[in-house]
C-alpha cells in the first residue's frame, strides 16, 4: 500500500480535479485498474465512482472507453471533464454527422483520454476495430446494474458487452454500480464474463443525509411548508401518481417556488425541458414519479421528500440517495400514512402471479414498518443492506434527534375507538376523523346537531384535551391498524377487527409521543458534512457561477460545486495559491475562473467584514463495510434477502443452502441486534416459561438437553431462536 505522502497519483488528483485526498476505496479501485486487473466497484451514490476510472485514464497511455447508458449522463460528464481540462468526448445519436466525423478524427489522432459511448454504439458493426485502432487501454462500465434483470434499469444491450472482451483482449474492465444486491453483483460478473475480478464493496451509509418521517396530514401543505424553510435549495418531491406530481408542483408554484413536474405522462420534449430546468437551477423543485431518476447527476439536491409511501426500502434508499451527492448536508423526509400502505397493497390486486404478489406485499409491509418504527432510521436502512451500525444512535435522524417517549394511551384510545363505534351504531355510517374529534370535544356544529351526535355517550368526554392531540391520536390508531380509513374523496373511519377487539378487551395501547414540530427544521437536524461560510458571499458566488454556466451552456455545477463555493466563502482566497487550495479547484479551473471569482470576493470584502469560522471537523470514519469475514458476510446476505421480503425457504433455495443454515443466520442476526424480531413469532409465552426453567437447570449450551427437557415440544429451529433472543445485546 502506498503511503499518502508519496502516492504519485495525489498530484494528478489535485492538479486535475482539485481534490487533496481520496474518498474511501477510490485509491484501491484505481490501483487495481492500473495494475491491469478486472474489478467490480459497488459504492453508494455520491461516493465518487467516476473518479475511479477518470483518474487512471489520465495516468495510463491510450484511451479509456466509458460505457454509459444515457445520453444526458455522457454529456454532463464530458462537460465536467472538459471544464477540468481533461480531453474527453462522447459519440452518440444526438450528434450531427459532421460532429461525429470531427470527433472520430480526433480519436484517430489520439487527442482524447476518455471516450463515452452507449452499449448500442459499442456493439455496432466495426466499432471494436475502431476501438483497437484508437488504442483503447481500459474499459469502464458505468451504471453496471443495467446488465442485470434484477436491477431496476435493465438494458438488454448491456448483455452483449462480454463480446468486447474477445475483441479487445487484455484490456481491463472496471464495472461500477450503486446497486448492492448479491444478485446484481453476480449478474455483472457473469454477464461480463470477468474471470476473477476484484470486488470492492463500500459502506452504504450516507453520513450527510438526515432521515425523518412525519405523519402525512395534508401532503401539499406539508411539502409547501418544508420547502419554505429551504428557499434557496434544490429538492425532489417523489409522488405515486402523475396527477399528484402536477398538483404538488402547482401548489409550490402558488407559493412562489419555481417548481416543475416530471412523469411519464408528459410529452418527451416537455419532460426533458423540465429536467433541464432543474439541472440548470432554473426550476428549484421537481415533483416527480419514480420515472425521474437515473439521469440525474445533479450534485446539489438538498432534499428529497417522499409525499407517498415508496413500495420498498430499496427504492426509498435509491431515491433518497439522489440528495447530497456533493457531500454537503441534505434532508430526506417521508410523509407517512397507513392509508398509503393499504393503497399500495391494493395495486397488487391486478397482478396474477401469486408469488410475486406475496414478495411485493412483504416488501411493502417492511417499508411501512420502517416508517412506523421507533428505532434509528439509519440503523434500520443499513440493516436492510446487511450492514451493522456501531452503536444505536446516528445523530442524524428524527428518532435520534427527538427521541420519542412511550406512554400508556389505553384510556384516550378507548375514547376514540368507542366514539367511532357509537357513531356507526347510531347513524349507520362512518365519518371522518375531524368529526369524531369534534364529538369528543363536545363541539356544537351543524352536523353534530343534525346527526344528534350530541346524544352519544362519548360526546364531550374529551373536552379537556386539545383537538390536535385527538387528531394525532386518531392518526396513530390508523397507523396501528385499529382504525381503517375508507378510500374516496370523503374518507371515513371504521373500526377494524383488531380495533373492535381492543375496544372490547381493553387491550393496553402503548404509543410513542410524536415530536412537537410537524417537520424538523433544518437547524435541528445533524449537519454532517456541513461547511460554515459567509452566506451572503456564497449567494453572490452562486449567481456568478450561474452567469458563467449560462454563457458556456453547461449546468452550474460543471463550473464549481457548492462545496467549492462554500470553501471560497470561508477562506476568501485572494491569490492564485490560495484559490488553488480550494477543494474542487484544479489548474484548469484556476486559469478559467480564478480571476473572476477572486474579483467577486475582493468586491465583497470592500463592503463587508471578513468573517471567521471554526475549523471544519474531519469527516467521521465510515462504519465497517460488510464482509468482515466469510461467515458474517454470508449471514448478512441472508439478512438482506430476508429484509427484501423473501422467506427462509426462498432464501435457502436461492442461495443453494439448507434452510437450517438460513435460520441459524437469522438467529445470529437477532443475537447481534441487527435484526429486531418478536419471540412470539417463534415460540409461545408458555414455552418460553418452560424454556427458562429448563435453562436454570441445564444452561444454554446444549440445545439437545433443552429439547429433551421440554419433551421435544419445540424443534431445533425454535430453540436456536430462543438462544438468540436470550443472547441478544449481550
Ligand atoms: P457516483 O458516481 O459514485 O454517484 P460521482 O462520481 O458522481 O459519484 O461523484 C460525486 C461527487 O463527489 C462529485 O461532485 C465529485 O466531484 C465528488 N468527488 C469525487 N471524488 C472526490 C474526492 N476524492 N474528494 C472530494 N470530492 C470528490
Ligand atoms: Mg456515477
Ligand atoms: Zn438515527
For residues 180 and 208, what is the distance between their CA atoms, to the nearest angstrom?
19
Lowest mean pLDDT across 161-165, 246-250, 344-348, 674-678: 674-678
Q: Helix and strand tally (H, E) in the chain? A: 33, 17
CB 666 within 8 A of CB 642: yes
CATH superfamily, domain at 9-201:
P-loop containing nucleotide triphosphate hydrolases (3.40.50.300)
Across the range 396-413, mean pLDDT stands at 84
- Decide if pLDDT at 655 tops 70: no
Across the range 389-402, mean pLDDT stands at 82
Report how far ligand 3's centroid is from the alpha carbon of 393 (Å).
5
Choose between 684 and 210: higher pLDDT. 210
pLDDT at 246: 97
Give the up-direction half-sphere exposure of residue 6: CA atoms within 13 A in the CB hemisphere: 3
- Decide if pLDDT at 705 tops 80: no
pLDDT in tens, 172-220: 999 999 987 778 888 898 999 998 899 998 889 999 999 999 989 889 9
Secondary structure class of 707 (helix, strand, coil): helix
pLDDT at 660: 62
Ligand 1 atom 27, closest CA? 48
Nearest alpha carbon to residue 546 among 601, 609, 593, 513: 593
For residues 203 and 388, what is the distance between their CA atoms, to the nearest angstrom?
10
CB 349 within 8 A of CB 364: no
**326 CB near ligand 1 (under 6 Å):** yes
Across the range 272-296, mean pLDDT stands at 89
pLDDT at 620: 54
Report how far ligand 1's centroid is from the alpha carbon of 562 (Å).
13
Q: Assess whether the region 9-201 and the region 535-605 belong to the same CATH fold.
A: no
Nearest alpha carbon to residue 410 among 492, 493, 477: 477
Percent over 70 (pLDDT), the chain: 91
Across the range 426-435, mean pLDDT stands at 92
For residues 53 and 57, what is the distance between their CA atoms, to the nearest angstrom?
6
DSSP bridge pairs for 88: 114
CB 360 within 8 A of CB 351: yes
pLDDT in tens, 598-643: 999 999 999 999 999 988 876 555 554 443 333 445 677 788 788 8
pLDDT at 442: 95
- Residues 2-24: b if buried by 16+ CB within 10 A, e if exposed: eeeeebebbeebbbbbbbeebbb
Choose between 29 and 724: higher pLDDT. 29
For residues 114 and 132, what is the distance between their CA atoms, to the nearest angstrom?
14
Percent over 90 (pLDDT), the chain: 57
CB 492 within 8 A of CB 432: yes
Report how far ligand 3's centroid is from the alpha carbon of 402 (Å).
10
CB 24 within 8 A of CB 71: no
- Decide if pLDDT at 430 tops 70: yes
**50 CB near ligand 1 (under 6 Å):** yes
**555 CB near ligand 1 (under 6 Å):** no
Main-chain dihedrals φ then ψ at residue 231, nearest 5 degrees: -55, -35
Lowest mean pLDDT across 373-377, 482-486, 664-668: 664-668
Across the range 427-439, mean pLDDT stands at 93
Ligand 1 atom with minimal separation from the 80 CA: 16
Mean residue pLDDT across the chain? 87
Q: Is 433 left (phi over 0), alpha (psi -120 to 50) or beta?
A: alpha
- Decide if pLDDT at 513 tops 80: no
- Give the CATH number of domain 408-510: 1.10.10.10
Which ligand has the shortest distance to the CA of 401? 3
Query: What is the CATH topology of the domain spanning 535-605?
Result: DNA polymerase; domain 1 (1.10.150)
**Confidence band for 686, pLDDT divided at 50, 70 and 90:** confident
Q: Is 648 left (phi over 0), alpha (psi -120 to 50) or beta?
A: alpha
Choose between 354 and 139: higher pLDDT. 139
**Confidence band for 400, pLDDT divided at 50, 70 and 90:** confident
Main-chain dihedrals φ then ψ at residue 534, nearest 5 degrees: -70, 105
Main-chain dihedrals φ then ψ at residue 354, nearest 5 degrees: -60, -40
For residues 633 and 617, what is the distance between their CA atoms, to the nearest angstrom?
32
Across the range 310-339, mean pLDDT stands at 93
For residues 431 and 423, what is the distance between their CA atoms, to the nearest angstrom?
8
**45 CB near ligand 1 (under 6 Å):** yes
- The per-residue DSSP string of 607-664 comes to HSPPP--PPPPPPPPPPPPS-SSHHHHHHHHHHHHHHTT--HHHHHHHHT--HHHHHH
**Residue given cell 470477468 in the structure block:** 194
pLDDT at 291: 80
- Give the CATH number of domain 209-404: 3.40.50.300
pLDDT at 601: 97
Report how far ligand 3's centroid is from the alpha carbon of 327 (Å).
18
> What is the domain partition of the chain in residue ranges?
9-201, 209-404, 408-510, 535-605, 626-727
Report how far ligand 2's centroid is from the alpha carbon of 143 (Å).
7
**pTM value > 0.95:** no
**Confidence band for 518, pLDDT divided at 50, 70 and 90:** very low
CB 311 within 8 A of CB 286: no
Ligand 1 atom 16, closest CA? 48
Amino acid at each position: 500500500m502506498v503511503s499518502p505522502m508519496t502516492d504519485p497519483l495525489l498530484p494528478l488528483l489535485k492538479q486535475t480535479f482539485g481534490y487533496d485526498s481520496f474518498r474511501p476505496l477510490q485509491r484501491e479501485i484505481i490501483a487495481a485498474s492500473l495494475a491491469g486487473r478486472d474489478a467490480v466497484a459497488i459504492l453508494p451514490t455520491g461516493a465518487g465512482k467516476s473518479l475511479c476510472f477518470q483518474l487512471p485514464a489520465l495516468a495510463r497511455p491510450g484511451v479509456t472507453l466509458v460505457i454509459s447508458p444515457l445520453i444526458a449522463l455522457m454529456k454532463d460528464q464530458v462537460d465536467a471533464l472538459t471544464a477540468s481540462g481533461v480531453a474527453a468526448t462522447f459519440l452518440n445519436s444526438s450528434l450531427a454527422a459532421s460532429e461525429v466525423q470531427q470527433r472520430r478524427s480526433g480519436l484517430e489522432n489520439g487527442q482524447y483520454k476518455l471516450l463515452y459511448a452507449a452499449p448500442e454504439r459499442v456493439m455496432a458493426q466495426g466499432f471494436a476495430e475502431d476501438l483497437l485502432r484508437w488504442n483503447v487501454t481500459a474499459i469502464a462500465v458505468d451504471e453496471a446494474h443495467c446488465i442485470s434483470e434484477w436491477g431496476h434499469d435493465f438494458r438488454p444491450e448491456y448483455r452483449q458487452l462480454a463480446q468486447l472482451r474477445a475483441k479487445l483482449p487484455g484490456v481491463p474492465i472496471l464495472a461500477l454500480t450503486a446497486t448492492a444486491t448479491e444478485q446484481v453483483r453476480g449478474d455483472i460478473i457473469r454477464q461480463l464474463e470477468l474471470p476473477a475480478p476484484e470486488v470492492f464493496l463500500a459502506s452504504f451509509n450516507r453520513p450527510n443525509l438526515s432521515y425523518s418521517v412525519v405523519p402525512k396530514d395534508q401532503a401539499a401543505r406539508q411539502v409547501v411548508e418544508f420547502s419554505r424553510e429551504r428557499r434557496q435549495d434544490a429538492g425532489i418531491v417523489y409522488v405515486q401518481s402523475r396527477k399528484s406530481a402536477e398538483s404538488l408542483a402547482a401548489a409550490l408554484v402558488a407559493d412562489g417556488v419555481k417548481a416543475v413536474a416530471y412523469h411519464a405522462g408528459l410529452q418527451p420534449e416537455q419532460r426533458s425541458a423540465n429536467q433541464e430546468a432543474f439541472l440548470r437551477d432554473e426550476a428549484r423543485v421537481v415533483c416527480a414519479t419514480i420515472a425521474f431518476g437515473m439521469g440525474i447527476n445533479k450534485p446539489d439536491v438538498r432534499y428529497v421528500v417522499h409525499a407517498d409511501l415508496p413500495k420498498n426500502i430499496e427504492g426509498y434508499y435509491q431515491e433518497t440517495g439522489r440528495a447530497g451527492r456533493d457531500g454537503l448536508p441534505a434532508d430526506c423526509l417521508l410523509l407517512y400514512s397507513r392509508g398509503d400502505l393499504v393503497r399500495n397493497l391494493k395495486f397488487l390486486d391486478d397482478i396474477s402471479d401469486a408469488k410475486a404478489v406475496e414478495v411485493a406485499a412483504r416488501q411493502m409491509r417492511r417499508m411501512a414498518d420502517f416508517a412506523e418504527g421507533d428505532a434509528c432510521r439509519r440503523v434500520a436502512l443499513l440493516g436492510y443492506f446487511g450492514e451493522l451500525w456501531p452503536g444505536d444512535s446516528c445523530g442524524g435522524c428524527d428518532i435520534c434527534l427527538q427521541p420519542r417517549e412511550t406512554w400508556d394511551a389505553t384510556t384516550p384510545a378507548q375514547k376514540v375507538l368507542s366514539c367511532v363505534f357509537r357513531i356507526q351504531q347510531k347513524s349507520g355510517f362512518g365519518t371522518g376523523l375531524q368529526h369524531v374529534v369534534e364529538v369528543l370535544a363536545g363541539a356544537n356544529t351543524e352536523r353534530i346537531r343534525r346527526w344528534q351526535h350530541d346524544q352519544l355517550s362519548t360526546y364531550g368526554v374529551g373536552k379537556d384535551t386539545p383537538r390536535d392531540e385527538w387528531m394525532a391520536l386518531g392518526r396513530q390508531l390508523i397507523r396501528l391498524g385499529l382504525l381503517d380509513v375508507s378510500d374516496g374523496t370523503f374518507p371515513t373511519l371504521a373500526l377494524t377487527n383488531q380495533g373492535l377487539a381492543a375496544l372490547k378487551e381493553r387491550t393496553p395501547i402503548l404509543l410513542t409521543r410524536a415530536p412537537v414540530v410537524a417537520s424538523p427544521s433544518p437547524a435541528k437536524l445533524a449537519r454532517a458534512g456541513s461547511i460554515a461560510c459567509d452566506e451572503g458571499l456564497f449567494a453572490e458566488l452562486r449567481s456568478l457561477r450561474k452567469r458563467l454556466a449560462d454563457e458556456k451552456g453547461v449546468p452550474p455545477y460543471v463550473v464549481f460545486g457548492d462545496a467549492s463555493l462554500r470553501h471560497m466563502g470561508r477562506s476568501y482566497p485572494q491569490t492564485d495559491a490560495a484559490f488553488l487550495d480550494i477543494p474542487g479547484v484544479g489548474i484548469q479551473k484556476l486559469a478559467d475562473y480564478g480571476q473572476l471569482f477572486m474579483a467577486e470576493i475582493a468586491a465583497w470584502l470592500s463592503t463587508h467584514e471578513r468573517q471567521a469560522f471554526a475549523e471544519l471537523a474531519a469527516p467521521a470514519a465510515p462504519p465497517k463495510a460488510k464482509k468482515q469475514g466469510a461467515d458474517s458476510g454470508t449471514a448478512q446476505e441472508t439478512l438482506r434477502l430476508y429484509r427484501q421480503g423473501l422467506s427462509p425457504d426462498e432464501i435457502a433455495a436461492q442461495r443453494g443452502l439448507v434452510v437450517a443454515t438460513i435460520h441459524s443466520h437469522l438467529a445470529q442476526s437477532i443475537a447481534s441486534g441487527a435484526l429486531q424480531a418478536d419471540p412470539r413469532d417463534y415460540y409461545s409465552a408458555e414455552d418460553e416459561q418452560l424454556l427458562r426453567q429448563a435453562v436454570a437447570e441445564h444452561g444454554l449450551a446444549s440445545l439437545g438437553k433443552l429439547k429433551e427437557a421440554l419433551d421435544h415440544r419445540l424443534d431445533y429451529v425454535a430453540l436456536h431462536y430462543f438462544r438468540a433472543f436470550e443472547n441478544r445485546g449481550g
